[in-house]
Each structure stands twice: as C-alpha cells, then as structure tokens.
Structure 1
Amino acid sequence: MVAKTLFGFEDLLADELKSLGAGKVSVGNRMVSFYGDKGFMYKANLCCRTAIKILKPIHQGNVGNEKDLYDFIQSIAWDEYLDVDDTFAIYATVFSEAFTHSHYVSLKVKDAIVDKFRKEEGRRPDVDTDYPDLTIDIHIQHNSCTVSLDSSGKSLHQRGYRNKTNIAPINEVLAAGLLMRSGWKGNTHFLDPMCGSGTIAIEAAMIACNIPPNLNRKEFAFEKWLDWDMDLFETIEEACLNKIRKFDYTITGMDLTNATVKKAMLNVESANLSEFITIKEGNFFESKKSVEGPLQMLFNPPYGERLEVDIPEFYKQIGDTLKQNYPGTIAWFITSNMEGLKNVGLRPSRKIKVFNGKLESRLVRYEMYEGSRKAKYNKDV
C-alpha cells in the first residue's frame, strides 16, 4: 500500500506506520510504501496523523500509448471492486513523455471501464466526482502505470472535528506533523498563544492522549467497498480506543478576539476534548507564563499573506514577549515570512524547512531558559 503525506513529513509517517505494525516500510517523495492486510489499512486510516491518503494498489503494467492504457485498464476484473449500480471517480497523476495531460488519462480510463461493463453486462456504472462508491487513483511514471483504490476518500486532514474556521486555518495534518517534528509527546504543559480555530491545541491533545486522529471522521471510502468488513473495523477501532492514555498537564489555546475563541471552543467540544483543553481570550504580547515547570509552545503567527499585520513590529513583539515573559519555555512557530524572522531578535536553535500549502516556510525553535543561558549551561555541566 501507499500512504501520501506532505513534504518533509515522510520520515514521521514511516515511523507511524512502523509503530502500528506495517511491514516493508519504504520512504519516497511525499509518500511511504508499506505492506499490510485489510485490517491494517483500516487502522492506518484511523490512526496515521501525518497521512493524507491511504492507497491500495491493485494492478501495475507498462503503457506506452493510448491503446496500451485502454487495453491495460480493460484487463482488470473491475467487477471485483465495482458493481454496475455503483458510482466511481478517477484521479490521475502523470509524469510521462507519452502522457502529458492527467485529465485526458482520466477520461481514457473511464472509457475503458464503462466499455468493459457495457460489453459484459449491457449496462455501465456512472461517474460521480462528489460522493463516489469507488475512487480510482491512476499514477503513470514514464511508461509504468499503477492503478490503486483510494481507501480514504476525502483527504485525511479532514478529521471531522473542525466545524468552525477563521481566516487562514492551519491544515490538521500539517499541525500534527509540526507537533511531532517538535518532539511533542505530552510530557509538559502546552500553549498555542495564537490558536485561531484551535487545531494545534486539538492535535496536541490527541497526541498526548494517544487518541486516533480520525476518530471523529464521518466516513472512509473503504466503507463503500464490496469487501467492507464492519465487524473487523469495529474490532480495530475498539483496540485503538483501549490504548488511549491519561494526560497530567495542561493544554491551552489563546487568541485575541472573543469570536475566534468561541469558534475554537466549539471545535474542541466537537473533538470531545473539553476536559483536556482550555481556550481563553487574551493578547499573547500582554501575557506571561502561568504554569510551573517546563512549557512547550507551538503556534502559527500571521505571515502577512492573508492576515495583514506590521510584520517587522509583530515579529519583534514575539521575540520580546518570549524573552521577557516565558522563561523555561521551548517555543516553536511556523512562518513563510523570512524577513519577519529577522525581527524576532532571538537566535533559533533549529530551523526546519516545511510547506504550508504552497508557501515554503520554516519551523523554528527558540529555547527560553530560566535565568541566563550561561547559568543553564553551567548547571548542566
């Protein structure tokens, strides 16, 4: 099988799959291949925090031209996957000299499938790109064509808990990946001081408590497959729920306006995480650390793309607030504004390249010590 992910998260996804029990895990470009049975496919969809799609390859062949593609698709026993009364959709990705238009490839695959059904049954299944019973993924690399079934359906970042959004909400898979990249495991207090819709705080709580990220999702594509096994899925879901653990620290989200805070609170309630997360109204630049012991912070400040702020001043205030008001804190944030970073006035201990959508960004880490860094060093020595 193949799990798709975002740029830079391939190793995180590989580690997730291994921990879940996948075999022969291999990292590629924005994807990870692995081996597993039907039950593992269900578990991967339910539990992988950094996966966008889980694909199940069913056939692979060489295609050098349009006729090769048509004949190859017709050679597949589609009645094993699709009933004549079902609907289907096709999505194609091509990196080939012979095939240059993905939409054209999708049309040819559709023709081959419906012609096969007409010939064998006198009727054909319909195409439905909104709510198909079966989603077919076509990937052509040079002359190699892989046909896969999309077991996820809608992207796995659509967890099912976020009913209310604000301007520039962060993708749930991106939020989870950033948390995992930061080393968050739930062993300190946590703060998102610019929480927006509450996504980072929610993903942080699910990681801390080992809650399956897609537990609130309404459906997966595999639930419409001809071999759908509800009893097997419920057994796997119950086993995952039995691994949920308690959390002994605090997770807090903060934002500037009451309207934003209310939306975040509704999303937290939708995720059934109100007992773990506190959302409050407040200005980060006027705040101070309010917990004893270590604190981890991760947030997504404005970049100046969709939210207009005075970038130099805003990022300077971030640095000043961290330095003056948050001792004993490991602070991470993501930004695509490289000029803004120069105004923070602190030297990051790590700087990791990531993408927020199409925006090349950096995930940066700042270590705010209790007292001076020199004192911290001498204590450690």
Structure 2
Amino acid sequence: MSHNFKMVATTIFGLEEVLATELRNLGAQHVEIGIRNVSFSGDKGFMYKANMALRTAIRILKPIKRFKVFDEDDLYKKFQQIDWERIMNVDSTFAIGAVVNSKNFTTNSHYISLKSKDAIADYFRHKYHKRPNVDVKHPDVKIHVHIQKDLCSVSLDSSGDSLHKRGYRNLTNIAPINEVLAAGLVLLSGYTGDCNFIDPMCGSGTILIEAAMIANNIPANINRKEFGFEKWSDYDEDLFFTIQDSLLKKIRSCHFKIMGFDKAPSAVRKAKENIENANLTDFVGVHHVNFFNSVKEVFGPTTILFNPPYGERLDIDIQEFYKKIGDTLKNGYPDSTVWFITSNLEGLKYVGLRTSKKIPLKNGDLDCRFVRYDMYEGSRKTKKASQ
C-alpha cells in the first residue's frame, strides 16, 4: 500500500486560497497555505492526480531534505550528505532550479544552482569515478532548491515543465495570459459552467479554454505529453492510467454558451486553432467582433471575464479605452457579472462603474487588481426597488 508524504504545490501570488480549495476538493490532507505555495499530504497516486488535475498549481514538489544553511560552502557540504543514490544514479541526467531569499547569500540563484550541481556531480565522482550529466531541457531528475533566510529545502520536481504549459497553446499574441493565471481568474469569479460565459477581448483564447475545461470538469493537464515523475525509477504506469481514467470519468457536459470576441482576425484564427488543440471546438465559439460595437445577444445571466490591454506592451489611450469599457458594459450588457484584470489602476478610474470586488493579484511582475462589476437588468435603483 502506498504511503502518504508531504508535497508542496507552487502558484502565483494571490491564488494560494484558490489552490488550497482545489487541493481539498481533490482529496489532499493537511493542506496549509504559504506565500505562493500550498503544502499538503498524499500518496504517489495523489501526486499523479495533482499534476493532472490542479488548475492553479505551477509545480508539485516532493521535499527530500531540509536543513539550516549559512553560506555557499555550507550548502555544498550539506548537499554532499544527501543519499543521492536513492534519487538518481550515475547515468541519470539532472537539472537544478533555485530560488534564494536570504541575506546569508550574496550570490544569485544561478550560482546556487551551479554550487548544488557541483556537489551532486562530485558526490558521484568520488564514489564511482564518473559523474551524471546535466540536461537543462529534458532531465531525468529535476531538483528544486529553495533558500529562505537560513533554511534550505531540497525537493524533487514531479511536474517537469511548469504546469502552465498545458499542451494546447501553440499560437499566442503580443501579451498572452499565463494558463494558470487564466484558470485562477475563472475560479475566483465563481464561474462553474452554470451560466453563459463571454471573453470580449479573447486574444489567443486562453481564458476561454480554461473556462470551458472548468465548465466541463476536464482535467487541466490532460493534453500534456509528459510529467517529470514519468522518468523516476518508482514510476507506476498502471497507477498513472488508473488515476487518469478516474478523472476522465468525471467529465460532464456544459449546456451554456462560452463565447469569445476579438477585433483582430489574426487573434480569432489563433484562438480557434488553440481551442481545436484542446479538443473544445464543440463548446467554445469565437467571433470577429469589436467589443466596443457589441451588445449582449445571449439570454440570461452571463459571466464576462477578460484581460484588457494595460498599456504596458500595447500602446493605447488608457483614459479613452477604459471609459469605453464602462460605456459598453452599461449600455449593452445587462444581467451580467463582469470581471477583468488590470495593472493599470489609473485606468480603472475611467470605467465609471462601481466595483463590487477588488482582488490583488500578480500577472508576471505586474501588480494587478481583479475587479468585479455587477450589471443589473435595468438600473440599480429599479433592481433595489423590486427586492
């Protein structure tokens, strides 16, 4: 019988609570929220499931050692004390990623990676007169080093490539949104497939795809070619396919409309191709429409969620652009819950609508707000009077 062990799922700042909820719903034990990460316990099968199903995780790490560390030489010595044969052999290829947040270390993360790599290589060379090779692109074993103040955590990266690389997105536009962030926005909005969904500035379609996968309960990483744990010596292929089958049996069908608009024909083409790659063509429609000239054409409650230009990489008149967003929503989109993310906090002032929620998030290095506006059928006064 498989035993439980501790794991850590990393995420984007602001999505920790969402990830913790995902983990609990999936069946994780001892879920604890950190900063940009959530720790939990589960067995090997759960590690496979977490990689396949979690929408807001970037990596699933399996800790192998924690120790106090005071400088680079101390790190090298402590690395030499780890029993590396339990993790890899001399013919394995490996790669190391490091994150350092400590005054004890004046060097950068790259140097810490190199020092750790040397320690592992020397460990094997002293014992076998041969050293394992580094393969940055496609290693057998990926090791993650995290130094916080004087505490170093060494983990195996069970994911391999970052979990935002879902496997469906071949084509992108100038400022594509990360898949993990897109999924996080949909989950934060509360959308579950129980109403219509519109992304009125859909770009290459990432938000639409993540929304459709949530609406139909399709595992987030079902289109991925491989995970890091598939190269581990204890990989259990039968268990992997058993877990995968159990997740696929939980897929349901969403009967509401999921639609995207974009004013650029090239974006519409890219979105359609990515949607096809994700096998979601039956669930998502994309239309060549300028949102500012549009009105709501679907009946009933609708979630509108989008990632408008912030003015960072796309040159726009912020005041005019954000005012147009507000006017279009006010005039054409009644009975809608509207969400969008922006780093342009100045731009929000020009929308001319009152936010009912503002959630701080990060999009890459940008400090953002994820804002909600409630567009009622008729005016707000009429709505209140009828209650």
| TM interval, short-chain normalised | over 0.9
Q: Which secondary structure state, in structure 1, belongs to the residue aligned with residue 35 of structure 2?
A: coil
> Which residue number corresponds to residue 241 of structure 1?
248
Return the letter of the residue paired with 2:25: S
> Contact (CA 8 Å) 1:2, 1:32: kept in 2 or not?
yes
1:189-220: CA deviation from partner (whole Å, max 9, x where unpaired): 00001000000010000011111111111111
Instruction: Establish whether residue 82 from structure 1 lines up as the match of residue 94 from structure 2.
Output: no
> Which residue number corresponds to residue 137 of structure 1?
144
Return the letter of the residue paired with 2:85: D
Return the letter of the residue paired with 1:226: S
Give the Cα separation in 1 of the matches to 2:298 and 2:149.
56
Listed as ranges, the matches of 1:40-79 within 5 Å are 40-79=46-85
Give the Cα separation in 1 of the matches to 2:238 and 2:153.
30
Give the Cα separation in 2 of the matches to 1:36 and 1:230.
18
> What's the offset of the Cα at 1:30?
0.6
Return the letter of the residue paired with 2:384: Y
Instruction: Establish whether residue 196 from structure 1 lines up as the match of residue 207 from structure 2.
Output: no
Instruction: Establish whether residue 10 from structure 1 lines up as the match of residue 16 from structure 2.
Output: yes
Structure 1 residues 81 and 255: alpha-carbon distance in aligned structure 2, compared to 1, 3 A threshold: same
Instruction: Establish whether residue 285 from structure 1 lines up as the match of residue 285 from structure 2.
Output: no
Give the Cα separation in 2 of the matches to 1:317 and 1:379.
29
Instruction: Establish whether residue 275 from structure 1 lines up as the match of residue 278 from structure 2.
Output: no
> Contact (CA 8 Å) 1:94, 1:100: kept in 2 or not?
no
Give the Cα separation in 2 of the matches to 1:318 and 1:105.
47
> What's the offset of the Cα at 1:149?
0.4
> Contact (CA 8 Å) 1:370, 1:376: kept in 2 or not?
yes
> Contact (CA 8 Å) 1:139, 1:147: kept in 2 or not?
yes
Q: Which secondary structure state, in structure 2, belongs to the residue aligned with residue 116 of structure 1?
A: helix
> Which residue number corresponds to residue 98 of structure 1?
104
Listed as ranges, the matches of 1:149-160 within 5 Å are 149-160=156-167
> Which residue number corresponds to residue 257 of structure 1?
264
> Which residue number corresponds to residue 178 of structure 1?
185
Q: 1:373 aligns with which of 377, 380, 383?
A: 380
Identity of aligned residues (%): 61
Give the Cα separation in 1 of the matches to 2:69 and 2:10.
24
Give the Cα separation in 2 of the matches to 1:39 and 1:238.
12
Give the Cα separation in 1 of the matches to 2:282 and 2:312.
34
> What's the offset of the Cα at 1:236?
0.4
- Unpaired runs of 5+ residues, structure 2, are 1-6
Give the Cα separation in 2 of the matches to 1:373 and 1:45.
44
> Which residue number corresponds to residue 359 of structure 1?
366
Give the Cα separation in 1 of the matches to 2:122 and 2:184.
43
Instruction: Establish whether residue 147 from structure 1 lines up as the match of residue 162 from structure 2.
Output: no
Q: What's the RMSD between the two structures over aligned residues?
A: 1.2
> What's the offset of the Cα at 1:67?
4.0
1:53-82: CA deviation from partner (whole Å, max 9, x where unpaired): 110001112223444322321222212221
The more displaced of 99-108 and 231-240 is 99-108
Give the Cα separation in 2 of the matches to 1:314 and 1:138.
44
Return the letter of the residue paired with 1:90: I
Give the Cα separation in 2 of the matches to 1:111 and 1:78.
13
- Unpaired runs of 5+ residues, structure 1, are none
Return the letter of the residue paired with 1:112: A
Q: 1:22 aligns with which of 20, 28, 45?
A: 28
Listed as ranges, the matches of 1:27-42 within 5 Å are 27-42=33-48
> What's the offset of the Cα at 1:229?
1.1
